[in-house]
A and B are shown apart, each in its own frame.
Chain A
Amino acid sequence: MNKKNVSISSVISDLINHLNQLPGIGPKTAERLAFHIIKSPENKILSLADSLIKSKQKLSFCNNCFIVTEINPCNICTDEMRDQKSICIVQDSIDAYAIESTNNYNGSYHILNGYISPINGIGPNELTISSLIKRIEKKPPTEIILATNPTIEGDATATYISNQIKSANIKISRLAVGIPFGGDLDYTDPKTLTQAFNSRQIFE
């Protein structure tokens, strides 16, 4: 906490400190948000506070897929119209929401709640991988889609899971990596371009 905040008010500095602890919020943004909150009408702020409290009281993780949900098991796991034989593995609930927003996938999910990151002390045991394996053993799916991020750690997580379930005779796929829609070849880095070339498809 810098001196400027301390000299203003301990209430404001407390608020800034709390906001600063949120992911993606640096000290400057925290300051800006704090002063925005102070200047906002009381009913708006009370409504925000109410949402924060409700999110902690009413939301939990689905016992089956670990997505953030109000009911347990979640709507996705109990939806009979969805293909429960397909499991898409993602790092966080937010990734499942991103896939849901495409309206293109109608299977189920498994949320890992993170990715393997040895340098941060996060190994397979810190994720929901053992629950995934139990889930597969109990009700074998026909396809597992590995949708972890295409970073070195996301890839190591996908490889680890793939090795764990390989013997179960399940189709295992990985999200494709390539040029985004509207992207420019000239702006694409060589590694992505190589991957896009290697994963090219028949043009129909």
Chain B
Amino acid sequence: MQKREYLNFEGITISSYEYGEFDKIFNILSPHKGIITAIIKRIRKTSNKNFDYIDVFQKMNFKASITDNFYIIYEAKSVETWFERPIKLTNLSSGNIIAELTINFNSINENNNYIYHLVSKCLKWISNDIFIFTLVYFQIKLLLAEGIFPEINICLNCNNKIQPGDYLLNLIESGIFCNKCSEKTKFSSLKLLEQEIRLLKHIKNTEYDNNLNINNIITKKVELSLYKKLSTYIKFYTNKELKSEKILFSSLNKY
């Protein structure tokens, strides 16, 4: 007989898929254990006193039993719901990008608690229709937490301080080359514009609280171009395409 453990935890449901005839499997981001994959039995068929309505992008208190690292949720009570109905495609696909990035970078380390609060905060901003800024913010904070944020203050080759201007970001060496040294970084490079570097530095050094007010900080065009470049940078490290990205861009064109 296997020993069964029990666990109470708060978590954010970030993705789900149907399993069997009546069940669903959820990827739940927790503050201390990273992503927990757990099954909720019969959730597609019956209402149950132990479960509040459960879907993706909800913060809930869970009670689970664990056998061989397999989690079975037997109670889930809502703490916070971000996306009120009717939900727009832009909100859903932005939330899905947060989910995909979180899953791609998931690891059990001391940053879990930080990532948990970051995801919570970013989902709230997305629910308030702040899309691309939130995604850029999430990308930058995730790179910082994972220790792969590029060097943007000094040239990787000559160590000279980077002055305001456009520079090449080397993907392999993870940093900027000054214009004098740019000949040495022709391959695997992205051109970062001055405004994009300014935004990178601004977000790197700023921790916004839940009630985000970003009026007049940056233009949407800079946000979007920086998002795309950081996305290329992240793909270089994770070697994974974000499925939601294409759908986000098509929905941004529609609205």
Contact = CB atoms under 8 A, between A and B. Distances in A.
A187 B49 contact: yes
Interface in A168-189: 180, 183, 186-189
Contacts of A189: 47, 51-53, 78
Interface stretch (A13-21, A44-52, A150-158): A150-158
Contacts of B53: 189-192
Q: Is the interface of A mostly helix, strand, loop or mixed?
A: helix
A152 B246 contact: no
B250 interface: yes
B243 interface: yes
Contacts of B86: 155, 158-159, 162
Contact of B250 (A119, A120, A123, A162): A123
A45 B81 CA distance: 49
B87 interface: yes
B87 A159 contact: yes
A164 B89 CA distance: 12
Interface of B is mostly: mixed
A86 B85 CA distance: 24
B189 to A, nearest CB: 29
Contact of B92 (A118, A187, A188, A192): A118
A116 interface: yes
Contacts of B78: 189-191
B56 A118 contact: no
Interface in B1-60: 15, 18-21, 47-49, 51-53, 55-57
B247 interface: yes
A159 B47 CA distance: 25
Given A118-B248, A121-B243, A153 B52 contact: no
B202 interface: no
A140 interface: no
A152 B83 contact: yes
Interface in B203-255: 243-244, 246-248, 250-251, 254
B88 interface: yes
Nearest to B92: A156
B93 interface: yes
Interface of B: 15, 18-21, 47-49, 51-53, 55-57, 78, 81, 83, 85-89, 91-93, 96-97, 99-100, 243-244, 246-248, 250-251, 254
10 contacts: A119-B100, A121-B243, A122-B247, A123-B247, A159-B89, A163-B254, A187-B47, A190-B52, A191-B52, A192-B47
